[in-house]
Amino acid sequence: MAHVRPGKMALMATRATQFRILQAALELFNEHGSAAVSSNRIAERCGISKGNLQYHFKNKQEITYALFQQAINEMDGGWYRDHLAPTLEHMATMFVRQLQLILKYRFFYREMGDLLRQDPQLRKRYADNRERRLRDLERFMLTLQSAGLMRFPSDPKRLRSIIDVTWIVNENWLNYMDYHDRVVTVEAMLEGYTETLEVLRPYICADMQQITRESYHTIERLAAQAAAEAEARLAV
């Protein structure tokens, strides 16, 4: 067996503890809201002392920032390659992927206004990430246009406005579901994607009924895949 240096072992232990803290906080924040969850409660869920928790994260604000950074890292794991798959089917995949991320970190998107007002550093990090994602989305849309699937206005400001609206719809669709006490089903996801397609309808150079049918199959397949993966994790 290879020898592991003590310093490296300590680092691994620290990262493992931080991961446990973040997982516990995410579960509690999603279930109860971040304002209702104390540091003591997070430490109790992890089975560690409050002092040990504060060694890793001074307060809940630092935990929230770390959770948002974790979400960004998940985005960075593949979202920047979207322009390499310039199809309308992949656009549906992008929508589902964003919904799944929002579901995973739903406390943040529910409480976004308050969280960003309370933490200027988090607000800047969110704004920087949003701008980067919007540029990536614009790049994807222009790639669709080059493939003959879309035709956008030549004015860059108008294109940016169109992309802004689609982002707002996608980012807030699950909150809209919450407001109406609706469960997130395949049909609900398709309904949200249909709203996005309505924004893009004037610029799509393809049959809308066919796009809707194909989108449904894509969303259904991805939802089934996510459900299977969740069951597999629970079985471990």
Nearest CA among 66, 90, 69, 94 for reference residue 79: 94
What pLDDT does residue 137 have?
Answer: 93
* Cα 65 from Cα 71, distance rounded (Å): 10
What pLDDT does residue 215 have?
Answer: 81
Paired tokens of 231: 């069951």
Lowest mean pLDDT among 4-18, 38-52, 97-111, 133-147: 4-18
pLDDT tens figures, 170-194: 999 999 998 899 888 878 888 888 8
Residue written as tokens 């597999």? Answer: 232
* Per-position DSSP letters for 20-73, written without gaps between them: HHHHHHHHHHHHH-GGG--HHHHHHHHTS-HHHHHHH-SSHHHHHHHHHHHHHH
* Cα 145 from Cα 203, distance rounded (Å): 9
Banded pLDDT at 1 (limits 50, 70, 90): very low
What domains can you pick out in the chain, each with its CATH number?
A: 1-58 (1.10.10.60), 65-235 (1.10.357.10)
3-state secondary structure of 86: coil
* Cα 96 from Cα 79, distance rounded (Å): 12
